[in-house]
Structure 1
Amino acid sequence: MDAPITAHSFLNFLAYAGIGIGVLIAAAVAVLLITPHRELSLIREGNTAAATAFSGTLIGLALPLHSAISNSVSLIDAAIWGAVSVIVQLFAFLLARLVAPKLSQQITLNQTAAGIFSAGVSISVGLINAAAMTP
């Protein structure tokens, strides 16, 4: 009987998980740098709108990363498609700010609707982004 987990498969898991988490962290930092409001400070202060928006951002980033890793043929392929997904998500965020120019201000003021809208945009685009990454 074959072992369910081999050393090789475990190393592959660590490599792909590392790529995924690394790209997710880099993307989250990029989002933190381009947003006019300071999400982490607002979240620490108990701002629900900021927490909702940033949670949606993380989910919206993770969805296409999942697809990139699932459909990749190598670590480099996963990293490249992961980077592409980040660019698409950042573009979606900037587009949301065009549609709702006071979005950042509203999130800073803890207007929950703004946080929900921002999260919804991130998750929606993340789902489409993920679905578009087919082999």
Structure 2
Amino acid sequence: MTTLAGLPAFLAYFAVALVLTALYLATYLTATAHREIALVRAGNLAAALALGGSLLGYAIPLSAAIRYSGSLLDAVVWGLVALVVQVVIYWLMRPLLPNLSRRIDEGETAPAVLLGAASLAGGLLNAACMSY
């Protein structure tokens, strides 16, 4: 049964990834001025695009952190770095897109798509930088 020898490590990394992703969502949802979950539940496509891009922008470097880390603690530290990077991307986009939160509240998809794309681009660059 050597094929299952890695199962404990898989479970540990997967559990940590779920916790870090939940922490990311809680942090990001607090950092933004609009209420994404309520907007998505109400059918706001703009909020779904922005939040979805952000979530993928976080998951990409988190997966790189897990892949390239030497230990579970290493993965956690780099996962936290990825969290900070994604929040910074949101704050950097706010001055470029005036009234960003209001526009997402109102369902404007153009700024939401750009925010989501910036989150994805930041996540890809973040992941690449972790592959040292």
Q: Deviations 1:52-86 (Å, cap 9, x if unpaired)? A: 10000100000000000000111100000100111
Structure 2: runs of 5 or more not aligned: none
Task: Measure the CA separation in 1 of the matches of 2:64 and 2:25.
Answer: 18
Deviation at 1:3, TM superposition (A): 2.9
Aligned length, in residue pairs: 132
* 1:79 maps to amino acid: V
Unaligned 5+ residue runs, structure 1? none
Name the residue aligned to 2:47.
50
Q: Structure 1: which amino acid aligns with 2:56?
A: I
Corresponding position: 1:114 with 2:80: no
Give CA deviations for 1:8-44 in whole Å, capped at 9, x if unaligned.
x101001101111111110111010011110000000
Give the share of equivalent positions with the same residue, in percent. Answer: 38
Q: How does 1:31-42 map to 2 (within 5 A)?
A: 31-42=28-39
Partner Cα separation in structure 2 for residue 59 and residue 43 of structure 1? 16
For residue 49 of structure 1, report the CA deviation from its aligned partner.
0.2
Amino acid corresponding to residue 25 of structure 1 in structure 2: A
TM-score relative to the length of structure 1: 0.94
Normalized against structure 2, the TM-score is what?
Answer: 0.96
- Report deviation, 1:116: 0.6
Distance 1:87 1:102 in 2: 22
**Which letter does structure 2 place at the counterpart of 1:15?**
A
Residue equivalent to 2:4: 5
Which residue, 20, 24, 34 being the options, matches 1:23? 20
